Structure 1
Amino acid sequence: MNKKIDVDLILKNMPVSTKIVGEIIYFDEVESTMDTIKRFADSNTKEGTVVVAGLQTKGRGRFGRSWISERDKDVLMSILLKPDYHVLRALNMAVSLSITDTIKKVADVKPTIKWPNDIRVNGFKIAGILIEVDALSSGTNCFVGIGLNVNSNPNNFSKEFEATSLFSERLISFDINRVLSLLLQYLDARYNSIGTSDIVGEWKNNLDTLGKNIEIFSKISDEKYNGKAIDVANNGDLIVKLTNGSIREFSSGEVTLQQ
């Protein structure tokens, strides 16, 4: 069992050539993989460049929250993509599905997606995604950060995180290099399928949010709304029937599922 990240092993475990995923740069420790890749990325940096770390000291998720992990236990990575601007909304779906693909393959458990991109197993968060976009004169640099709890013990985390890991779900340790290899393969395939597959339908079928009573906090209006999640639009917006009977679409926000 390989306990440390090894780029050579990651590449060796990738039996098929990838169209986008390219150079993999490993750091033993960084503040965050997202900040690291953004520091050296410019218009000349090749799409598909990947930064992987053994430990993040200041990892972050959506809304500026901390992302906690243990050294050499989890997937901590960011990748530079340069998609056409009109497919940015589909990118979130592709990345989410690449993570669920990976979890199903390596652990034989059924993950779900809490809108818009929290990956969960049995109601507990196992992976998160952070997407940040820089508009350049030559196009769009899109930085995708992924954190996937693999061998960490969620009991070491604060209760507020409500987290799990592949180890916690199956009570066995996983080869971190194989997990990374599979994730990069699935990410490459999902990214290249945007526009040619029913990615919206697949993403929708994996959502655990639809049909549930929810509270959603909108950063745009700085307000909380209550209602029932009834559908998603083709662009990924969440369609909610509010308690006052009106229908509203949300392009972003933080969802809490109501009991």
Structure 2
Amino acid sequence: MAPKITAILVGIFISLFSITPISEARNMNDQGLNAKQQGIVTIAAFTAQGDLGRLKTTLNDGLDNGLTVNEIKEVLVQMYAYCGFPRSLNGISTFMSVLEERKAKGIQDEIGKEASPLPANKSNIELGTEIQTGLAGGTPARGPIYTFAPAIDEFLKGHLFGDIFGRDILDFQSREIATIAALASMAGVNSQLQAHFNIGFNTGLTEAQMKSLLSVLAAGVGKQEADNASEVLSKVISNRAK
């Protein structure tokens, strides 16, 4: 299939599954991430690092900047796929404490929408394969690692991309912002970080938004994490320009 046609199909696919249309997102966010997206960055980063003290602060900031309770819960739940159940569960527990404290102060936070039912006419693997392929730019995921351990391919398609990414509480851009922030905050995962920078661009995130994400990391998480992610991003941008 010609690259131009593939790009068009991917754009259509992403717009169908995303809450915010790509064209609208580009027009609104060419200058960088908005306050809600910045909140997702730090929430994901501190959850991945297990820094519950700073997570508590940024959870409050996220709510104050317009993230709903369900949107934050969705970020925390998604994190288990990237940093494990223990840190995801610790993040959720911390969020419960934050909400209790805010309620005691008389703060009524917006709960937000619930996830729509997943399509009844396809399995989670079928749905996940569609989503993964679309996010990857129209090319199905293949490689020796999936041949060597086919179970991981099944789990990635069926659970990560089907069960988790198929939930519409967060759009794909928000999920990639969370994923990139988490991976950038952990050591030894640059190959995955590179892949998700590419996927982020495929969802319509701009170079300005990616650099804004790195600025949030540098200011709120750590210079070392931001510098490493910046090197990875530079390679991705260079490769995509070829």
Q: Give your verdict on TM over 0.5.
A: no
Structure richer in strand, relative to its length:
1
Q: Greater share of helix residues, 1 or 2? A: 2
Query: What TM-score, normalized by structure 1, do the two folds share?
Result: 0.25
